[in-house]
Homo-oligomer: A and B are copies of this chain.
Amino acid sequence: MKALVLTSGGVDSATCLALAVETYGAEEVLALAIYYGQKHQKELEYSRKIADYYHVKFQILDLSVIFQDSNCSLLVGSDTEIPKTSYAEQLVESDGKPVSTYVPFRNGLFLSSAASIALSHGCEVIYYGAHSDDAAGNAYPDCSDAFNQAMNQAIYLGSGEQLRIEAPFVNLTKAEVIKTGLSLKVPYQLTWSCYEGKEKPCGICGTCRDRAAAFAANGIQDPWRDFYGRNAS
């Protein structure tokens, strides 16, 4: 194996996977999806769909025990509801601190777990799909370019210079990620973004709103358009 790709079932990681497969070939790519105690399993289900589409090896890792004492609103054990407001509104409410859907140091933990697994398989690179919209205003501080650079340095040095991070979208907006993905013909109908785990995306949570806007910015409707057309703001 050459490359490990962290997948979440969403559009960013699907685009990452497409890039990794284009660069290394499907047989050299391992897709890793992580269960961390989310209220639903859609991320894993759609991670598998996209991995199957690209014919890459797929692995699920369960790290939910690590978050058993967290009160993040995305997690099963939390008594906090997932906000229905935009990230900008949530940031005002949280007074510049991470928002209630921030899972404590999730990306750091995911990248570290990926590093241990990648080294066991002889991989030289980890791909992940952090982008600049998620880091805006410190909503998700573990999506920022500064975090990414520090984590890349930690993984490069801590692995004996055997492994590095590739975060191709860290300075791109979600709309730009989708633009890249459209040129690679990423099957976005096989991705899931909504924080809710219902049959169809809710269309009103922060991530649903972002996704709809990013497709709209590319002048096209989301493949989930039948639903989004009715509900998205």
Chain A positions near chain B (C-beta within 8 angstroms): 61-62, 65-71, 97-98, 102-109, 111-113, 115-117, 119-121, 138, 141-142, 144, 146-147, 150-151, 153-155, 157-161, 163
Q: Are A120 and B70 in contact (CB under 8 A)?
A: yes
Q: Are B109 and A105 in contact (CB under 8 A)?
A: no
Enumerate the 8 nearest inter-chain pairs by beta-carbon distance, A residue then B residue, closest first. Answer: A104-B119, A142-B158, A112-B112, A150-B153, A150-B154, A70-B120, A141-B160, A105-B115
Q: Are A70 and B104 in contact (CB under 8 A)?
A: no
Tell me which of B69, B108, B119, B138 contacts A155 (CB under 8 A).
B108
Q: Which residues of chain B are near A151, meaning CB under 8 Å? A: 150, 154, 158
Q: Which secondary structure dominates chain A's binding surface?
A: helix
16 new A-B contacts, CB < 8 A, other than A69-B121, A105-B112, A147-B157, are A67-B116, A67-B120, A68-B120, A70-B119, A71-B120, A98-B160, A102-B160, A104-B115, A104-B116, A108-B154, A109-B109, A141-B160, A142-B159, A144-B157, A144-B158, A147-B154
Q: Which residues of chain B are near A163, meaning CB under 8 Å? A: 105
Q: Which residues of chain B are near A71, meaning CB under 8 Å? A: 120
Q: Which residues of chain B are near A105, meaning CB under 8 Å? A: 112, 115-116, 119, 155, 158-159, 163
Q: Name the residue on B nearest A110 (C-beta).
A: B112
Q: Are A120 and B104 in contact (CB under 8 A)?
A: yes
Q: Name the residue on B nearest A1 (C-beta).
A: B69
Q: Which residues of chain B are near A158, meaning CB under 8 Å? A: 105, 107-108, 141-142, 144, 147, 150-151
